[in-house]
Chain A
């Protein structure tokens, strides 16, 4: 049992999140969430707006707290996991600091966490090389394109080597071509680092292409209706998107989403 727990990065049991409980504006954002995520998995949370996928991510990140239920990150409370810097977060907007150069932005978490200067420098450069922006270290964020900015945000989230990467619709604001390139890049990083990824998206093809499992969620109240195992071969390459199985899985996910809507 203990061994099994050690490999469990996320454990959610009967988790509920109610906003404004007891008032007229009461919203059941999440109801009865049960989910186990093992180390090294790539999990996508997918569903229409209001299904609570971002809320679930923010619960894991301890940016908000569950109303009731049990939630464990690396066998700890989410709060302790946050204090231990167990996860890195990437938002939909790159959220870079305008006044810092690219490399200084990547160094930010390392500064906050008190790493010595030489470690900060080498680590940040390594991370920029990982996202293939090594040459842009001295640029300012506004000199980069949207996709490049988001790669800086990923480098920043990985800089302190967290065991978990939380991504809240990170490529939602990018055009289709950039998004596909970023997907390849993310998979490459995931394979190289072995990090566990929780990825919020509303794109079915993106979820299927990236994930080892797709968690399908539905709104009012936010629930998990289905977890789809993605048995596409690794490494996922450009041609993966042309496999019949890829389209089958997309159809499966789409049907689960539609069923839940009562359509």
Chain B
């Protein structure tokens, strides 16, 4: 079967130097762009003499951050790092609660298509409501300093996109695939397990990626409405109010770092859970 083997990409192990060169070619443009943005920012602030409350220098932000970092590693109790931990806790807690509930409700209703079809318009409507506006309400429900008040907001924010996408993934199955199952006289729950759930996996994981970013945004904004001193939302507002703009920016940077890391973690889970998916296929 020579012609068959010939149709498959030949596998040749790459040398270390070759792989390094490829990685460099892949990441170098990104690194260069990031570096240039920082340099232009620094120069613009210095040359144009921009007021620090409008935009502090990157170097000043880094100095402020490094100071906090030093107190943190020397065990001195850095409020910035404490705040980051607290916000991360709210974001992850809300993410797990909301996404878990979203997937669960979708699975429960997928069995009865009529129910999920009846629910979808409401879910889509709820998805376009600015749920963050309820933050003052949940603050009242659970208490301003209780992390549960932030988690609740995050959970509600991520619930709807997760549920909607999961229902879509469970129902948008190719008709031929369903007929194949029918030809095996497969029972509904076997169809769910062998076809609908794997079919929904890409939908669920792309919802989780969106939810990972939303959860950090939700947690920080919910904290803007009030919360314990050691949370990023409160930290940023208070430092900005106290004219410590470089310090306020360190809070923003930490929030961004948390958001990006969370996103990357979900992306890695996605790769691990569905190595077969079209977006991860190696180009040949």
Contacts and interface: CB of A to CB of B under 8 A. Distances in A.
Interface of A: 61, 63, 82-83, 85, 87-89, 91, 93, 95, 97-100, 108-109, 111-113, 132, 140, 142-143, 145, 148
B201 A99 contact: yes
A72 B194 CA distance: 30
B183 A61 contact: yes
Nearest to A181: B3
A142 B185 contact: no
Contacts of A89: 179-180, 183
A132 B1 contact: yes
A112 B190 contact: yes
Contact of B184 (A85, A99, A140): A85
Contacts of A97: 177, 194-195, 198
A148 B7 CA distance: 10
Contacts of A87: 183
B115 interface: no
A146 to B, nearest CB: 10
B194 A112 contact: yes
A99 B276 contact: yes
B215 to A, nearest CB: 27
Contact of A95 (B177, B184, B274, B278): B177
Given A98-B277, A140-B276, A112 B186 contact: yes
Interface string B180-208: 11111110001000110010010000000
Interface residues of B, number: 25
Nearest to B181: A112
B176 A95 contact: yes
Nearest to B187: A112
Contacts of A143: 8
Nearest to B191: A112
B180 A111 contact: no
Contacts of A82: 182-183, 185
Contacts of B185: 82-83, 85
Contacts of A98: 276-278
A245 B115 CA distance: 61
B283 interface: no
B179 A63 contact: yes
User: Which label, helix, strand, loop or mixed, suits the secondary structure of the B interface?
Assistant: helix
B37 interface: no
Contacts of B2: none
Nearest to B198: A99
B68 to A, nearest CB: 45
A91 B277 CA distance: 23
A109 B181 CA distance: 8
A142 B278 contact: yes
A62 B95 CA distance: 45
B129 interface: no
A262 B182 CA distance: 39
Contacts of B1: 132
Nearest to A87: B183
A91 B4 contact: no
Given A91-B179, A93-B176, 8 more contacts: A61-B183, A63-B182, A83-B185, A108-B194, A109-B184, A111-B194, A142-B281, A145-B7
Given A143-B8, A145-B7, A95 B180 contact: yes
Nearest to B195: A97
Contacts of B180: 89, 91, 95
Interface in B141-200: 174, 176-177, 179-186, 190, 194-195, 198
A142 B283 CA distance: 12
A192 B58 CA distance: 75
B274 A91 contact: no
A83 B186 CA distance: 9
Nearest to B190: A112
B17 to A, nearest CB: 28
B255 to A, nearest CB: 35
13 contacts: A82-B182, A83-B185, A88-B183, A89-B183, A97-B194, A97-B195, A99-B274, A99-B276, A108-B194, A112-B181, A132-B1, A140-B276, A142-B281
B72 to A, nearest CB: 43
Nearest to B4: A148
Contacts of B184: 85, 108-109, 112-113
Contacts of B174: 95
A12 B183 CA distance: 20
A113 B182 CA distance: 12
A97 B186 CA distance: 16
